[in-house]
Amino acid sequence: SDPQGSILYLGLLIQTKCDPILIARRLIVISSEDIGFGDSSCLPFALTCLEAVQQVGMPEGRIILSQCVLKLALAPKNNSSYLAID
């Protein structure tokens, strides 16, 4: 929920050479686990982010990841699906 902190953390992950595909996969999980019904457009957005990063690669993929991170950070949160299954 903190856009600046989220972008800072993304920058650190990229700087330490974390696999951008792993970052995108985690964003998919966040979109379902933490946002869920708060903004149901986030899951397809994150899936598209993964596809785009796979197609474009780095370093340009960092822009795509940044866009997704900001969308997820600013989205309303609802973890009812996560809580229901656990």
What pLDDT score was predicted for residue 86? 83
CA angle 53, 55, 61 (to 5 degrees): 30
The number of distinct structural domains making up the chain is 1
Q: What pLDDT, on the 0 to 100 scale, is given for residue 1?
A: 87
Q: Which domain holds residue 50?
A: 3-85
Per-residue confidence (pLDDT) for residue 47, from 0 to 100:
99
Mean pLDDT, contiguous 10-residue spans, the chain (86 residues): 97 98 98 97 99 98 99 98 91
User: 51-70 pLDDT, tens per residue?
Assistant: 999 999 999 999 999 999 99
> Residue 28: its pLDDT value, please?
99
Report helix angle 3-15 to 61-74, nearest 10. Answer: 150
- CATH code where residue 25 lies: 1.20.272.10
pLDDT for position 44: 99
Cα–Cα distance measured from residue 48 to residue 83, given in angstroms and rounded to the nearest whole number: 25
Neighbours of 23 (CB within 10 A): 21
